[in-house]
Amino acid sequence: MSLDRLVLWRHGETDYNAAGRLQGHLDSALTETGRQQARRAAPRIAQFAPDTAISSDLNRARTTAEAFAEVSGMPVRLDKRLRETHLGEWQGLSGAEVEHGWPGALATWRSSPTWAPPGGETRIEVAERAAEVVEELDHEHHGTALLCAHGGLITALTAKLVGLPLELWPGLGGIGNCHWVVLKRRTGTHWRLMAYNAGAFSAD
């Protein structure tokens, strides 16, 4: 038994997104815009007809996943391994505040999946814990799995699953709020990228 397809769905806009602050493991809430994004995207996500659905346990992902559950009637399981990158001492700060306190560190972090913010984790570590979830699903389910998670995790997991060399990980762009990635099984543990940063509406 193994999965044929993965749908990785990012949460809607949060108060921290709107304020331009880094969230990491902080449990921020969706804005009204974020809730509307989730409600608009949920029917599109439901069209993938996932056989199982799992969400990060952080509020912003959980609330987004609830919009899918309301449309589909499918229960959504929570898993803390799908949380966003832990950003350590940067959590809650703006980009300008990080640059002031750690000059040049943001650029280093964005360009190197092996580098972690002080007290935080690397993108490699994030991808590995998320890949554990996928591996377990492979032994429990077939068909399509939906993971409702976070932009940094989705990008790192995508890079790992399609086998990108580490130096190419920064070449993947960010994922918009309530946008998604679709991967299909190629062979064995390898996946093929079918859609990236797709959205229900181009204006999202």
What's the pLDDT tens digit per position in 18-37? 999 999 999 999 999 999 99
Q: What does the pLDDT read at residue 98?
A: 97
- Please choose, from the candidates 105, 77, 76, the residue with its C-alpha nearest in 3D space to the C-alpha of residue 90: 105
The DSSP output letter for 145 is: E
Report the chain's mean pLDDT, rounded to a whole number: 95
pLDDT for 141 beyond 90 = no
Mean pLDDT on 145-149? 98
Angle at 17 between CA 33 and CA 28, to 5 degrees: 85
pLDDT single digits (tens) 72-95: 999 999 999 999 999 999 999 999
Whether residue 141 lies in the annotated active site: no
Q: How long a stretch of residues is the chain?
A: 204
Report field, pTM of the whole predicted structure over 0.75: yes
Active-site residue (options: 84, 86, 150, 179): 84
pLDDT single digits (tens) 96-140: 999 999 999 999 999 999 999 999 999 999 999 999 999 999 988
pLDDT for 202 beyond 90 = no
Whether residue 100 lies in the annotated active site: no
Q: What does the pLDDT read at residue 1?
A: 63
pLDDT for 169 beyond 90 = yes
Q: What does the pLDDT read at residue 187?
A: 78
Query: Can you point out the beta strands (E) in the chain?
Result: 3-10, 52-55, 77-78, 143-149, 180-187, 190-198
Sequence-distant (6+) residues with CB within 8 A of 114 are 122, 123, 124, 166
Q: What does the pLDDT read at residue 203?
A: 40
Residue with tokens 């997104």, as numbered in its chain: 17
Active-site residue (options: 11, 86, 150, 179): 11
Residue with tokens 């409702």, as numbered in its chain: 148
